[in-house]
């Protein structure tokens, strides 16, 4: 196993049990599977090769992942998986690091994590690594991967860079639209999209544990997002929902009377955001955007950021995948308060049903395992 980081804390059986139990809970699977998952983790110790590429990004997803405390990121990177290439955290640089990537690709069968969008304009020259356009590096690495996990808003749907001049795309999508640049290299392989800006570290740990144990991907929606993490609507589960229903909307951040009121008029996109941030929380379960008095930006959705900007302003209409463009503002203004909430719920339920039907047809391809 290649070792890149700081000193490795020793990982114990108790740690494996904790990782197994937490991951099963996150994926909504039975705790009865804990011993099986812990055993699979122990048996695969250091054997699951991971190649982590970074393109047009801010390294925020890497930052988020290495801040994982339970289990410690160093344990995951050094003991649980075999991290073969990651330009931000690996000690090697220059030719040495490119050699490490070439060797990993030659061996094949790894988990490919992609962070950052892929610029296609000017034949990919807006992002090159080691003299190669990132779009070609992704192609080469995806061809030999066993499973592909684009992380963060940029690698999944294009994210913020998509609104710039580089013709940035996610691995399979540009917003809600499928593009076909990588269809040939992704064919027959599981792709698991883990959007949000940045990646939520626990979601990646859970899908890695799932893959190591079962060799399959968890149930996905039609944008290849695990339903266990992206099957819930923020607005339906928001702690400020009572204020929304009662028509109490925050308009003045500095008015103490309005603290805790609904952030809809401050640009909250919670009604169109499907994620589990409201129960998973961030920063090692400290809080999340709405709890920290910040409107939800729906960074988990394919249309973030292009269709949702400017942030902090009330949204007039939004593109809902599977439904089309919806004038939310008009719905709210016409019907008002609790009745509007009912209409919103119907709309969201209809979307959730479409999503769940689509999921029944989602590919459940078993990834090819690396030959040992
Ligand atoms: Fe919560 Fe935003 Fe919905 Fe208000 S609009 S209830 S803050 S999700």
Per-position DSSP letters for 306-317, written without gaps between them: TTTPSTTS--S-
Q: Which CATH number fits the domain that encloses residue 236?
A: 4.10.480.10
Q: Is 66 inside any structural domain?
A: yes
Do 273 and 198 reside in the same domain of the chain?
Answer: no
Cα 326 to ligand 1 centroid, rounded to whole Å: 17
Q: Model pTM?
A: 0.81
d(C-alpha 296, C-alpha 316), whole Å? 15
Do 21 and 54 reside in the same domain of the chain?
Answer: yes
Q: Is 372 inside any structural domain?
A: no
Q: Is 300 inside any structural domain?
A: yes
> What ligand 1 atom has the least distance to the C-alpha of 264?
5
- pLDDT tens for each residue of 85-116: 998 888 888 888 999 999 999 999 999 999 99
Do 258 and 317 reside in the same domain of the chain?
Answer: yes
Res 43: pLDDT: 77
Beta carbons of 119 and 166 less than 8 angstroms apart: yes
Res 339: pLDDT: 37
363 pLDDT higher than 80: no
80 pLDDT higher than 90: no
Structure tokens at 350: 């209809």
- pLDDT tens for each residue of 321-346: 455 565 655 545 543 443 344 444 44
Structure tokens at 106: 């030659």
17-30: average pLDDT = 75
Beta carbons of 207 and 26 less than 8 angstroms apart: no
For residue 16, the cross-strand partners are none
Structure tokens at 73: 């990121």
Do 104 and 83 reside in the same domain of the chain?
Answer: yes
Among residues 86, 127, 197, 210, the one annotated as catalytic is: 197
Range of 26's domain? 6-217
Q: Is 368 inside any structural domain?
A: no
Domain count, the chain: 2
For residue 141, the cross-strand partners are none
- Is residue 297 in contact with ligand 1, taking CB distance under 6 Å? no
Known active-site residue 127 = no
Q: Is 369 inside any structural domain?
A: no
Taking the CB of residue 37, how many other CB atoms lie within 10 A of it?
Answer: 23
Q: What is the mean pLDDT of the chain?
A: 81
Residue 127 pLDDT class (50, 70, 90 cuts): very high
Among residues 86, 154, 200, 243, the one annotated as catalytic is: 154
Do 277 and 314 reside in the same domain of the chain?
Answer: yes
Res 367: pLDDT: 34
In the chain, which ranges are E strands? 48-54, 81-86, 111-115, 118-119, 128-129, 132-133, 147-151, 168-169, 173-174, 177-178, 318-320, 324-326
d(C-alpha 9, C-alpha 7), whole Å? 6
In a 10 Å sphere around its CB, with 0-12 CB exposed, 13-18 middle and 19+ buried, how is residue 140 labelled?
Answer: middle
Do 102 and 18 reside in the same domain of the chain?
Answer: yes
Taking the CB of residue 291, how many other CB atoms lie within 10 A of it?
Answer: 16
> What ligand 1 atom has the least distance to the C-alpha of 239?
1
Q: Is 364 inside any structural domain?
A: no
- Is residue 290 in contact with ligand 1, taking CB distance under 6 Å? yes
d(C-alpha 194, C-alpha 178), whole Å? 16
- Is residue 240 in contact with ligand 1, taking CB distance under 6 Å? yes
């Amino acid at each position: 196993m290649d070792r890149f980081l700081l000193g490795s804390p020793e990982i114990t059986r108790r740690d494996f049990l904790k990782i197994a139990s937490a991951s099963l809970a996150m994926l909504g699977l039975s705790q009865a599977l804990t011993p099986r998952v812990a055993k699979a983790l122990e048996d695969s110790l250091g054997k699951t090769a991971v190649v982590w590429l970074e393109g047009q990004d801010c390294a925020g997803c890497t930052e988020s992942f290495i801040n994982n405390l339970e289990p410690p990121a160093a344990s995951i990177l050094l003991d649980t998986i075999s991290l073969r290439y990651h330009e931000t955290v690996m000690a090697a640089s220059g030719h040495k690091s490119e050699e490490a990537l070439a060797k990993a690709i030659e061996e094949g069968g790894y988990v490919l994590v992609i962070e950052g969008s892929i610029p296609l304009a000017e034949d990919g020259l807006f992002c090159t690594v080691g003299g190669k356009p990132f779009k070609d590096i992704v192609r080469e690495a995806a061809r030999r991967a066993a499973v592909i996990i684009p992380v963060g808003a940029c690698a999944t749907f294009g994210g913020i860079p998509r609104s710039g001049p580089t013709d940035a795309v996610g691995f399979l999508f540009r917003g809600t639209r499928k593009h076909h640049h990588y269809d040939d290299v992704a064919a027959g392989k599981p792709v698991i999209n883990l959007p949000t800006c940045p990646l939520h570290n626990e979601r990646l740990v859970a899908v890695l544990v799932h893959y190591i144990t079962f060799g399959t991907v968890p149930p996905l929606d039609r944008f290849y997002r695990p339903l266990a993490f992206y099957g819930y609507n923020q607005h339906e589960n928001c702690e400020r929902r009572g204020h929304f229903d009662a028509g109490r909307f925050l308009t003045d951040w500095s008015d103490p009377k309005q603290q805790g009121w609904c952030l809809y008029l401050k640009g909250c996109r919670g009604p169109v955001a499907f994620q589990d941030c409201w129960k998973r929380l961030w920063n090692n379960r400290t809080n999340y955007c709405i709890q920290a008095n910040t409107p939800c930006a729906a960074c988990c959705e394919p249309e973030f950021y292009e269709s949702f900007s400017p942030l902090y302003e009330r949204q007039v209409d939004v593109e809902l995948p599977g439904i089309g463009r919806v004038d939310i503002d008009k719905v709210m203004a016409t019907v008002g308060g609790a009745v509007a909430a009912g209409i919103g719920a119907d709309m969201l339920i209809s979307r959730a049903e479409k999503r769940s039907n689509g999921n029944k047809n989602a590919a459940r391809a078993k990834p090819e395992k690396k030959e040992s």
